Amino acid sequence: MINRRAGNTIVEELLVYAILLYEDLVTENEFSKRLDELFLNDPENEDLLYLEWETDIKKAIIYIRTNIDYNNLEIERFGRILISKLKAVYVNCSDIKCFASRMYHLWESLPGNIQNIEPFWTLCYADDPLSWGDEEQTRNIYEYMLDYYKD
């Protein structure tokens, strides 16, 4: 299992980046840059060292996805990190239908134990109003989801 240090978000961040990279919602460069930062902050972490040396990005994603203890995932941390990344994707995507399609695929990539928990569940159904042409309602649903962790 990927090593969790007290008070850090390495596990949750790695999972968010692995999922987003798999879904082409972040670039390999973004993933690598964040991985470098995490490693520099914790150079003794064997998992980060392994990932730093792994040159095959698909193998890195598989390593992360198969070495996380999903039962001990800090769901709120994971959600806050994921939603913050999705806000940037939403702001930079002018086609709501394209965004909606990507979000449904993202929902399918989430760990099964959190798919039916809000705000993640929203990713499954937010595109429904598009079937009757209601882009405004779809945007409202996504924007509500993107504000889920607003303090």
Average pLDDT, stretch 69-98?
94
- Token readout for 144 is 């509500």
Average pLDDT, stretch 76-84?
96
Give the pLDDT score at 2. 76
Amino acid at residue number 97 = K
Average pLDDT, stretch 24-35?
95
- Token readout for 121 is 């569940």
Confidence of residue 4 (pLDDT cuts 50, 70, 90): low
pLDDT digits (tens, 9 = 90+) for 90-107: 999 999 999 999 999 999
Q: Residue 119 in contact with residue 81, Cβ under 8 Å?
A: no
